[in-house]
Amino acid sequence: MKKASIPAVISTALICFIFWLLISGGLVALCQGAPDVRNLVVGLLVSVFVGLFSARFFIHESPFYLWNPAKLLQLLFYCICIFPIELIKANLDVALRALNPVLPINPGIVKVPVDVQSEYGQAMLANSITLTPGTITMDIVEEEVPVGEASPAKEGEEAAPLPTKPQTFYYIHWINVASEDPKEAGDAIKGTLEKGVRRIFD
């Protein structure tokens, strides 16, 4: 198994320490000018231990990618603006369907193309879709899809195979399958989530 690099351990430990400060109240104490030193030391030790143990699983690309100010701002914008808006829209849609029996409910599984290249981005988009009510990402697959058109075959020769490229697809359970066309279903389900994720990771 690949060993974790020192930058990967540091990056993972920093992320864990930030979460420690958020959930333990340490960040509030720091802002108030009365930090709990014991809490900070314990949090730092735990974060370093977690970084040493999990960095090899957690970091597969540039360790400090998200510490880039531009990418960090895009991540904050996604978490504060893009995802909450899509979450509210999905909650309202499901609530209206639950309260109004006239609105259709046609559950099913749709296959949706996704143009996010990064593994982190694919995981973030899949989780974002699952967290919005009415949709659950069930599987992620990569398939070869044809590109362009086949060249006409000469007389007596077999037609050349179509050129292909890898394409990622999500299989998503949707509360109301309004369209079975992959692109239309994808646009309806993903909304602005995919564009927001691509700004962060691609």
Run of H or E including 171? strand 164-174
In a domain, 145, yes or no: yes
SS3 assignment, position 32: coil
Question: DSSP labels for 43-94?
Answer: HHHHHHHHHHHHHHHH--S-TTGGGSHHHHHHHHHIIIIIHHHHHHHHHHHH
Nearest to 199 by CA among 87, 110, 81, 55: 81
In a domain, 191, yes or no: yes
Q: Are residues 17 and 107 in the same domain?
A: no
Q: Are residues 143 and 83 in the same domain?
A: yes
In a domain, 158, yes or no: no
What does DSSP assign to residue 176? B
Q: Are residues 74 and 32 in the same domain?
A: no
Give the range of the structural domain holding residue 94, as residue numbers without chain letter.
Answer: 69-149+163-201
In a domain, 120, yes or no: yes
Q: Are residues 77 and 142 in the same domain?
A: yes
- For 131-159, b where at least 16 C-beta lie within 10 A, e where not — what string? ebbbbbbeeeeeeeeeeeeeeeeeeeeee
Query: Which amino acid is present at 107?
Result: P
Predicted confidence (pLDDT) per residue in 133-160, tens digit:
999 999 999 988 887 665 555 565 566 6
Q: Are residues 74 and 129 in the same domain?
A: yes
Q: Are residues 76 and 100 in the same domain?
A: yes
Q: Are residues 60 and 118 in the same domain?
A: no
Q: What is the pTM of this model?
A: 0.78
pLDDT of 77 over the 90 cut: yes
Q: Are residues 15 and 35 in the same domain?
A: yes
pLDDT of res. 100: 85
Q: Which residues pair with 141 in a beta bridge?
A: 169
Nearest to 175 by CA among 140, 136, 127: 136
Domain boundary among 45, 64, 83: 64
Angle made by CA atoms 195, 166, 189, in degrees to the nearest 5: 35
Predicted confidence (pLDDT) per residue in 16-49, tens digit:
998 888 888 777 777 777 778 888 899 999 999 9
Angle made by CA atoms 159, 161, 163, in degrees to the nearest 5: 140
Task: Evaluate whether 61 touches 83 at the Cβ level (below 8 Å).
Answer: no
Number of domains in the chain: 2
pLDDT of 6 over the 90 cut: no
pLDDT of res. 113: 94
Q: Are residues 99 and 142 in the same domain?
A: yes
For 134, phi then psi, to 5°, come to 100, -10
More confident of the two residues 42 and 103: 42
pLDDT of res. 140: 94
Q: Are residues 42 and 81 in the same domain?
A: no
| Residue in this structure with the two tokens 């949090």, named with its chain if needed | 43
With bands split at pLDDT 50, 70 and 90, how would you rate the model's confidence at 132? Answer: very high
Q: Are residues 122 and 58 in the same domain?
A: no
pLDDT of 1 over the 60 cut: no
With bands split at pLDDT 50, 70 and 90, how would you rate the model's confidence at 54? Answer: confident
pLDDT of res. 156: 59
